[in-house]
Amino acid sequence: MSELRLMAVHAHPDDESSKGAATMAKYVDEGARVMVVSLTGGERGDILNPAMDLPEVHGRISEIRRDEMAKAAAILGVEHHWLGFIDSGLPEGDPLPPLPEGCFALVPLAESVERLVRVIREFKPHVLTTYDENGGYPHPDHIRCHQVSVAAYEAAGDYCLYPDAGTPWNVSKLYYNHGFLRKRMQLIQDEFTKNGQEGPFGKWLKDWDPELDVLADRITTRVECAKYFAQRDEALLAHATQIDPKGAFFRTPIEWQQRLWPTEEYELARSRIPVRLPEDDLFAGIDP
């Protein structure tokens, strides 16, 4: 049990490839075991790639998204576990419609937590990553993912809780992913301008909510992982129903990204070991 182990908990398939994927690929390459846990199957996700918006795809979306996830996991070199809950979908309208019966966001918290605790106690991760209290964005499954992950982090080491879910295990550190940063977008946008091109983030920057800037102040840990950006993009493209290869994300040359912003960012939310901040390694301070 001497190897380092990282568990990344995500709401839907494709989230793992857009949030911390290069970090995971880096640690796999360095000999750590990494497991992605997908809480839902993404069954209610919209088809966001026009080339995949076909009747035969709509009829097999659950099966296709499972295949996409398997491809992405293989590209990143990670282990993968489906927790088995049903995608809640993103409600739209005013007023918002009720969530579908039986969806993940409506499952009693104790049931979801016990299921994740079981996986934690089996895999025994030293580090767990998830979303902050706002879910990264206010999708009900992302917010629930935060709630379940934090509760499971606390419960996994408590022998009084979920005694039938395996031998207790204390996860050393809990991190939140923080990838949606204005400064990063602005740097890339400015690089397009310098090269006489129109950047992909103009509208986003124009409509930016200043309240999101607080996230930059919460960052404690920057992992240098530029070497793995191409692998990240390949994994993201494996989710063909969700990712348009002609979309804004892929307009920025890898070389620019590696030079301008070579890291992925995290917030150390909880730790059971002494830490020194800021960090450049999620495993900092951990002796397996």
Annotated binding site: which residue ranges?
Answer: 12, 15, 142
Q: For Cα atoms 263, 244, 246, give the angle at the middle one, nearest 5 degrees.
A: 85
Residue 47, amino acid: I
User: What residues are designated binding site for Zn(2+)?
Assistant: 12, 15, 142
Rounded CA separation 1/15 (Å): 28
**Under DSSP, is residue 26 helix (H, G, I), strand (E, B) or coil?**
helix
Q: Which residue, 86, 76, 119, is CA-closest to 11?
A: 86
Kindly write down the DSSP assignment for every residue of 126-177, as one continuous string: SEEEE--TT-SS--HHHHHHHHHHHHHHHHTT-TTS-TTS-S----SEEEEE
* 62 alpha-carbon distance from chain centroid: 20
